[in-house]
Amino acid sequence: MIDSTFFFFIAAPAYFLSFLFYLFKIVFDPEATERSRESSPQALSITANRVRSAPLDWGHWALQMTRFSVVLATVGIILRTIQLGNASDWVISVFLPVTTTYGILTFFAWIIPLAYLIMERRYRFEGVGLWITGLSFVMLAIAAIPEIAPRAVAPLVPALQSYWLVIHVLFMLVGMAFFTVGFGASALLLWRRHRGVEPQLLKKLEQLSYRANAIGFPFYGIGGIVFGGIWAKHAWGSYWQWDPKETAMLIAWLAYAVYLHARVSWGWRDLKVAWLSAGAYGVVLYAWIGINYFVAGLHSFA
């Protein structure tokens, strides 16, 4: 059987090509960079005429290459799961290898672009695709460094020997994937707003950020609070320990709750919610990575 690393090895340059195609789209066709599929029929007609007259539609090729990259990463994830099943039967029982740095990086390099493609079916913003594919390439590049992300399956500590852990991490990673898409849209909105782009385009971009964050919110909360609590009960005998990582996760989830409340109930739009989205994503990153380096706790191994 072909090793899973082969498909991740091929997916990395494919993501990089997607990144370059999105970059070329932005550079050579800046006026079309943030067009939405919710444009008027007249605008769609103008877009079609421009595409026919253009020598090469970089946005189209960027999208196709992104889809191809996700397919390669999907095969890699499946093969990696099968390989891990030989060493740890409880992992194969839920078909998800998410208990190591290598596994999480490769999984993220699959699920984040997949989340973007789901959102891209309605909105097409090449600037967001540029961020997503570039990030995926970086994660696979880091995963290829054995000193940082060893590929071998190490013996599992007792607290990790539970399928509830895999479900807990899976839901949180799916939530973080959509949060990443939301952050990319918010960051692009802030940049475009600074450059004075047409307000209607910013509105579509803000809607993309909101809907991505709204999808990620229940996944992150259910995975962290509900399934994380069940795992904690199994591992440590209590549903909640006020561990630094647990606390940081709760704060991150509440930050997104404030964002959604401000957007839905208070009617905030544009720069206000964009900054809230970016700030909440920063808390998520700290809860995921920063806690491991700065604060010791029950999750120090994760």
Ranking 80-84, 147-151, 257-261, 278-282 by mean pLDDT, the lowest is 80-84
pLDDT band at 191; cut points 50, 70, 90: confident
For 2, other C-beta atoms within 10 Å of its C-beta total: 9
Per-residue H/E/C for 212-264? HHHHHHHHHHHHHHHHHHHHHHHHHCCCCCCCHHHHHHHHHHHHHHHHHHHHH
1 in the same domain as 142: yes
What is the number of domains present in the chain?
A: 2
Of 231 and 21, the one with more pLDDT? 21
Per-position DSSP letters for 23-81, written without gaps between them: HHHHHH-GGGTT--TTS-HHHHHHHHHHHHHSS--HHHHHHHHHHHHHHHHHHHHHHHH
Of 15 and 28, the one with more pLDDT? 15
pLDDT band at 157; cut points 50, 70, 90: low
Q: How do residues 116-155 score in pLDDT, each as one tens digit?
A: 999 988 877 778 999 999 999 999 999 888 888 777 766 6
Last residue of a domain, one of 132, 156, 180: 156
Last residue of a domain, one of 156, 172, 191: 156
Q: How do residues 265-276 score in pLDDT, each as one tens digit?
A: 888 888 889 999
pTM: 0.83
Of 157 and 51, the one with more pLDDT? 157
**Sign of the alpha-carbon torsion through 57, 62, 63, 65:** positive
pLDDT band at 170; cut points 50, 70, 90: confident
Of 253 and 42, the one with more pLDDT? 253
105 in the same domain as 63: yes
Print the domain residue range for 45. 1-156
Residue 91 has pLDDT above 70, yes or no: no
Place of tokens 């690393």: 5
Last residue of a domain, one of 108, 127, 156: 156
56 in the same domain as 137: yes
